[in-house]
Amino acid sequence: MVLEKLGSNLYNAIQKVLKAPIVDEALVKELIKDFQRALLQADVNVQLVMELSKQIETRALDEELPPGISRREHLIKVIYDELTNFVGEKPQELKIQPGKQNILMMVGIQGSGKTTQSAKLARYFQKRGYKVGIICADTFRPGAYNQLKMLAESINVDFYGEPDAKNPVDLAKRGIKQLNDHEVVILDTSGRHKEEEELIREMQEIEHAVQPKEIILVLDGTIGQQAAAQAQAFNEATDVGSIIVSKLDGTARGGGALSSVAATRAPIKFIGTGEKIEDLEPFIPSRFIGRLLGMGDIEGLVEKVREAEAPISEKDVMAMLSGKLNLQDMYNQFEAMQNMGPLQKVLSMIPGFSYQMPTEELENAEERLEKWKVIIQSMTPEEKDDPKVLNRSRIQRVARGSGTDEKEVRELIKQYNTMRKMLKQMKGSRRMRRQMPFNLR
Ligand SMILES: Nc1nc2c(ncn2[C@@H]2O[C@H](COP(=O)(O)OP(=O)(O)OP(=O)(O)O)[C@@H](O)[C@H]2O)c(=O)[nH]1
Ligand SMILES: [Mg+2]
């Protein structure tokens, strides 16, 4: 794949981040250099690269870390976010209305890959259960009819064409009529003409005559950044609803084509990744970037960060602040904390807290969570509800019951008291969010 080279460069940069002993400003800067190099080699527009790297750098260095997320994870999330955003944010879908005749009209300059993508799209919708037909409205190039007919036959899709027709507009109308019981009708047009103007005129005439559900522009990925200008020119002449960037398996310039077109917010819906009929895939920015970064589990990581970012509601916090924190609550918090949950969030919302408790201690605390949970489980409901009743003999009993010793039980009680105190401290504080300078964890 094209993007193979780009992908492997980005992948190596990510690996560097994953393997680095510490994630600090120097590493962030180095990573950004690697990125710039990789993107520029893939013919991505210089200005776009600069904007992107600036954005990554600012976010990576200045943004506060969501609780429970390491700087490393945050950095990777930022890169992933920004790159995804860079190529299109949300996936755009080519919608087909079932039970209707959806005419998809292919346009694009000569050799861009219209005919090939027509067959690929036909196969794509056929596999999804639609009744599909193809029309060859390229009356200009002598071999066009046979090329498409063979492709259609190879996938068993109905085909309409007239080998000797001269007028593509009338032909298209007859084809549409012939295939009126087909849900998806793909109309391949000519890309070759003596003059560009003539090509544009023909395209507009066919559009007018058949009123397609969608005009699909095929752009050749090997032309690099020029693809954006071409997309714009076509969009001015006609109402382009979808874009397919083809030949992304070919050269290193694919990155340039894709990103420059994406930067105009044009709807790239598919990418062509080879000459075979199956080599078409919906363009899903997040998946695409994940693959490029070589991170199969990036979705999981992103999900983790997203969860950590989900704000705890003020109501939750107030309920805890009202003093109603018992050991059962604490137990629940421990449990949640083991999934990187609310305790961390609550604690991290206390201004200055991150200075009070060094990471090491937090880690120790996490190691002890399991033990503490067992201790709490050995308590009676009364004790859990109001730990003040835990006198010496009760503590001895709990220690025995949980297979720990008195010292550990007392430690838990101390921890509980500390936590309550901190929650009280937080009461009245309007700064609910952690204010923390760039702090390397
Ligand atoms: N590697 C690769 N080759 C492709 C892809 N799509 C199309 N091609 C090749 O590009 C060449 C031109 O493709 P066509 O589909 O005939 O292009 P076209 O736009 O219909 O060309 P005209 O009808 O002459 O305007 C063919 O050799 C295809 O095999 C792709 O995604 N990857
Ligand atoms: Mg063609």
Query: Any residues with CB less than 8 A from the CB of 352 and at least 6 apart, and which?
Result: none
Cα maximum dimension of the chain: 102
Q: Which of 107, 269, 272 is nearest to 186 (CA)?
A: 107
From 271, 275, 277, the mutation candidate for ligand 1 (largest count of ligand atoms within 8 A of CB) is: 275
3-state secondary structure of 27: helix
pLDDT digit string (tens) for the chain, length 441 residues: 456 667 777 878 887 887 788 888 999 999 999 989 888 888 888 888 999 999 999 999 998 888 777 888 888 889 888 888 888 878 888 999 988 999 999 999 999 999 999 999 999 999 999 999 999 999 998 899 999 999 999 999 999 999 999 999 999 999 999 999 999 999 999 988 777 888 889 999 999 999 999 999 999 999 988 899 999 989 999 999 999 999 988 666 778 888 888 877 889 999 998 999 999 989 988 777 777 776 554 555 566 666 655 544 455 555 555 556 778 777 766 665 555 444 454 454 443 333 344 455 556 666 667 788 889 988 998 898 888 999 999 999 999 988 889 999 998 888 888 877 776 666 545 443 333 222 222
The finding on whether 406 has its CB within 6 A of some atom of ligand 1 is no
The finding on whether 120 has its CB within 6 A of some atom of ligand 1 is no
Which amino acid, residue 400? R
Q: Which of 45, 106, 145 is nearest to 234 (CA)?
A: 106
Which ligand has an atom closest to residue 141 CA? 1
Pairing of strands 184-189, 132-137: parallel
Q: How far is CA 64 from CA 25, 69, 197, 374, 435, in A?
A: 14, 10, 54, 34, 8
The finding on whether 279 has its CB within 6 A of some atom of ligand 1 is yes
3-state secondary structure of 410: helix
Which ligand has an atom closest to residue 113 CA? 1
> String of b and e for 364-395 (b: at least 16 CB within 10 Å)?
ebeebbebbbebbebbeeebbeebeebeeebb
Cα-to-centroid distance, 118 and ligand 2 (Å):
9
User: Which two structure tokens, joined as six digits, stand for 31?
Assistant: 């990573």
CB 356 within 8 A of CB 421: no
Q: What is the C-alpha to C-alpha distance for residues 151 and 146, in angstroms, rounded to an integer? A: 8
Cα-to-centroid distance, 188 and ligand 2 (Å):
7
Nearest CA, atom 6, ligand 1: 113
Cα-to-centroid distance, 238 and ligand 1 (Å):
22
The finding on whether 220 has its CB within 6 A of some atom of ligand 1 is no
Cα-to-centroid distance, 120 and ligand 2 (Å):
13
Cα-to-centroid distance, 91 and ligand 2 (Å):
27
Cα-to-centroid distance, 253 and ligand 2 (Å):
22
